[in-house]
Structures are given as structure tokens and as C-alpha cells.
Amino acid sequence: MKRLVIVSNRVPVPKEGLRPGGLAVVLKDLLARKGGLWFGWNGACHPDAAHLPPEIQKAEGVEYATIGLTPAEYRNYYTGFSNSTLWPLMHSLPECIHFERRELASYRSVNERFCENLLPLLRAEDVIWIHDYHLLPLAALLRRHGVRQPIGFFLHTPFPAPDMLATAPDGGTFLRDLLKADLLGFQTADDTANFIFAASRTAGAVTVDDTTLLFEGHKVRVGTFPVEIDPQTFAATAAAAMEHADLHRLAGSLAGRRLVFGVDRMDPTKGLDHRLAGYERLLHTYPARQRQVTFLQIAAESRTDVPSYQALRNRLEHQIGQLNAHCGQADWTPLRFLTRGSPRSTVAGYMRLADIGYITPLRDGMNLVAKEFIAAQDPENPGVLVLSRLAGAAKQLEAALLVNPLDHDGMADALERALAMSLAERRERWQACWDSIASHTALGWGLSFLDLLHKTTEA
């Protein structure tokens, strides 16, 4: 019997009732079903962390092995190279990229520490699945230490176009490191194509067919695996939440106004400043909508030590104040902006109550919130999804109102169109979106990746 070993930067210890992040949501069921080991960072910093062995815990059939980071590693590997260099680079936001060589060095040495601490825990029958941009060198490091077990890697972010990748310090090395895995998974066909192009152009991999590369005598499969949610479960959670006191309070406070709703981490990739500008443009271009709508945006604080996130927060605070001061009236606040996270079930209820889901990242690997918004709707009276065409989810949710997240007039027009939309069109668009997510699950996503990894390595 094979054992699944998941490796990700952060091993989530879910806080009571709070909404866990994307990766944790999709991997939770897979590990619960298959059992196995989850290895990664425990989320804590300690000066002695580099000398302490992994802490092992067991819960509900899953073993968790976690290590800490030293304050310097947290600064250089996590806040630095992972989130100030790679994250904006992967999202093609060059103006947010900050690069320091010492941070790259720390990124490499933390990956080595992940490798050293993981090696003694591995068994011959393991299948190793590495996740995300924090761990690009890990497959190659494991191979260098003689690991022969199947290794899969999944990138949750977009994979950038070739020009953008050229701004990655040592981009060629990262490509060659990734090519030591057996299966590389991406969110969309465009991401996969970008990778194949870069791997053959920059790293010298040979394309065997659409999904197979040959690199240094090693066959690597490459595939598109859009991350999914559990739509039926989320729909039930949203319907049940309508009875919560929180929901009654929100509905009462709207006093009959239409609700526009967004929920994100406060992250420069999420396009929050442009989103607010698009909403403000709606109120100016279609003044009849003033007093008719309320925009509730939850933007939970995230990665607060990264300078570009701090700058975003400062910009947004200014913009929120201006919007409410300039557009508000004595008895109407156009925008409610919250930086505290909310319980997952409450958010599901807010989505169901909303007339419009307004989700406009500048770029996003997938954006599960968009799928959750569809799942949360009442099929008899569904809300309308206004979605950035640069989110991976837009490839599946083509019946949403797709917008350019930088085009304020375009976003204002889409909001107006959603507000004016007939019930028949709302139902038709919602049904098409629902049909594209209803038959998938997060578990199915994980199993399909592991199935191809198995076929690739058993062949």
C-alpha cells in the first residue's frame, strides 16, 4: 500500500471555524481519505529552529511533521524570496518584485533543510507530492539525495509567460530542478503551455508529445489540473448559513439595498484598488444606483511583513476613506471594508445573500472564491458573478460577466449589467457556471493528479 507524502510550505493547523487558505481546503479531504504524512512549516519562528528535529503529531489518520523557521529564514525565505520575488513574478506583476541575493540564498538553504528533515521520514513505498512556489528546488534536492520514489509537483499560482520568467533570478535552474519530478501539474492549459515553452527553450528539455518532456534522460509528464471545490457541500453550508444571526443582521442592515460582495486575502494580486475604483465609477456613471447598492468587501490581512502588502494596505485605507467621504450620504455608506477574516460558513451565507459576486484579481492561479460564489447561490434566484478574465477560474466560468480588472469603466458597466439583469438571464448564466463545477470535487482533483503520477511512474 502506497503512502502519500504531501510537502507544502505551510502545514495548516486550522483555527477554530476560521476560513483556511486555498491549498489547505483542497488537500484536507485527500489526506483524510488516503491517510499519510504532511510535511512543512509549522507557521512559527524560533531562533533555534534550524537545530530542532521535526515535531510529529497525528490527527484523524494523518501524520503531521512540522519544522519551524528562524527569524532570519522567515525574513529572507518566506517574506523575502517566496513572497517578495516569486509570488509577484508568478503573477506577472513586475512592479511588485523585489529581489535580494541573500534572500535567494536563504530560499535555497530552507529548501535544503526541508529536504534533510524529510529524508529520514521517507519510506520506500511513498508517493511524494510537493506543492507550490516556495519549494521549486525540492524535487531536485531529493533526487540528489537518492530519492527514487515517484515525485509530483503542483503549482497553485499561474506559470508566467517567457518574458516574465526571464526576470526570475536563476530561472533556468528552477526549471531544471522542477524537471526532476515525474509529474508537473498546473492550473490552466495556458500555464502548462508556458511551462513547456520555457522548459524546452531555456532548460533544453525535449518535447516528446503534448504532455511529455525528456530531460537528461528522464521522462517528465506535464498536465493541467484545475483545482476544484466541493460544490454540493458548499451549497449546503451557504443555504444553512441563511438562518444564522450574522446573516439576519447583515440582511437587516442593507435596508433593501442590493449587495455587491467580494472576499479575498489583502494581496496585491487581488486587484482590490482597481476593484474599488470600478465600483466608484459605477456610482458616478450610473448615479441612479447611488443609495441602491452596498459593496461589502472582506480583505483579510495576509503576509503583513511584506512591504508591497503594507503599501497596498496604506493605499486602500486612503481610497476607502475617499470613496465613502465623496460618494456617501448621511444615511448611506457605499462601501463596507473589513480586514478581519470571517468564519467560512458566514462567508458562504454572505455569498448567497449577495446580488453580485465581484471578484477581480489582476491575475490568479485559479480563484476558488469564484467557484464558491456560484455554489452558494439559490438556483431559483441566483446572483451574478462579475469575474476577472485573468483568474484561472474564468476558463471554466465563461458564463460569468468576465471583465478586465484594470478597466474601471468596464467593471462599472459589468456591475450595472448585473444589477439590471433579468431573472431568466441570471438563471441561465448561473446554470452554465454551475454545470461546469458541479461534477467536480477537491478530492477528485487530488485523485486525478495522483492517478496520472501513478501511471507515469509505473509505465
Report the catalytic residues: 156, 364
Task: Please report whether residue 75 would count as binding ligand F6P according to CB under 6 A.
Answer: no
CB of 369 to ligand F6P, least distance (A): 11
Residue with the shortest CB distance to ligand F6P: 21
State which amino acid sits at residue 203.
A
Residues 154-193 that bind ligand F6P (CB under 6 A): 156
CA distance 9 to 26: 15
For position 339 contacting ligand F6P by CB under 6 A, the verdict is: no
- Window 121-160: residues binding ligand F6P (CB under 6 A): 132, 156
- Which stretch, 16-24, 275-283, 336-344, 409-417, contacts ligand F6P (CB under 6 A)? 16-24
Q: Which range of residues in 21-29, 44-52, 59-67, 91-99 is near ligand F6P by CB under 6 A?
A: 21-29
From the list 114, 101, 129, 152, the residue with the least C-alpha distance to 36 is 129
The H or E element spanning position 144 is helix 138-144
One-letter amino acid identity for 428? E
Q: Does 266 bind ligand F6P (CB under 6 A)?
A: no
Among 292, 279, 230, which residue's Cα sits nearest to residue 437? 230
Binding residues for ligand F6P, total number by CB under 6 A: 8
Position among 200, 212, 285, 302 found at the interface with ligand F6P (CB under 6 A):
302
**Burial 72-101, CB ≥16 within 10 A → b, else e:** ebbbbbbbbbbbbbbbbbbbbbeebbeeee
Which candidate, 43, 153, 133, places its Cα nearest to that of 81? 133
Assess 23 for contact with ligand F6P (CB under 6 A).
yes
Pick the closer one to ligand F6P by CB: 152 or 382: 152
In angstroms, the Cα distances linking 87 to 21, 36, 65, 190, 440 are 16, 28, 25, 18, 28
Residue 337, SS3 per DSSP: strand
The verdict on 21 binding ligand F6P (CB under 6 A) reads yes
Q: How far is the CB of 303 from ligand F6P (least distance, A)?
A: 5
Q: Which is nearer to ligand F6P, 156 or 221 (CB)?
A: 156
Tell the smallest beta-carbon distance from residue 177 to ligand F6P (Å). 19
Q: How far is the CB of 365 from ligand F6P (least distance, A)?
A: 7
| Residue 10 found at the interface with ligand F6P (CB under 6 A) | yes
Name residue 219's beta-bridge partners.
214
* C-beta of residue 320 within 8 angstroms of C-beta of residue 286: no
Instruction: Give the distance from CA 277 to its chain's centroid.
Output: 23
Which span (17-25, 55-63, 141-149, 315-323) binds ligand F6P, by CB under 6 A? Answer: 17-25
22 binds ligand F6P (CB under 6 A): yes
Q: Which stretch binds ligand F6P (CB under 6 A): 20-28, 243-251, 335-343, 346-354?
A: 20-28
Instruction: Rank residues 23 and 147 by Cβ distance to ligand F6P and give the closer one.
Output: 23
Tell me how far apart the alpha carbons of residues 340 and 198 are, in angstroms, rounded to a whole number: 39
303 binds ligand F6P, rule: CB under 6 A: yes
DSSP 151-198: EEEE--S----HHHHTTSTTHHHHHHHHTTSSEEEESSHHHHHHHHHH
For the bound state, the minimum distance from the C-beta of residue 11 to ligand F6P, rounded and expressed in Å, comes to 10
Count how many Cα atoms sit within 13 Å of the Cα of residue 363 in the half-sphere of its side chain.
18
Instruction: Tell me which residues touch ligand F6P (CB under 6 A).
Output: 10, 21-23, 132, 156, 302-303
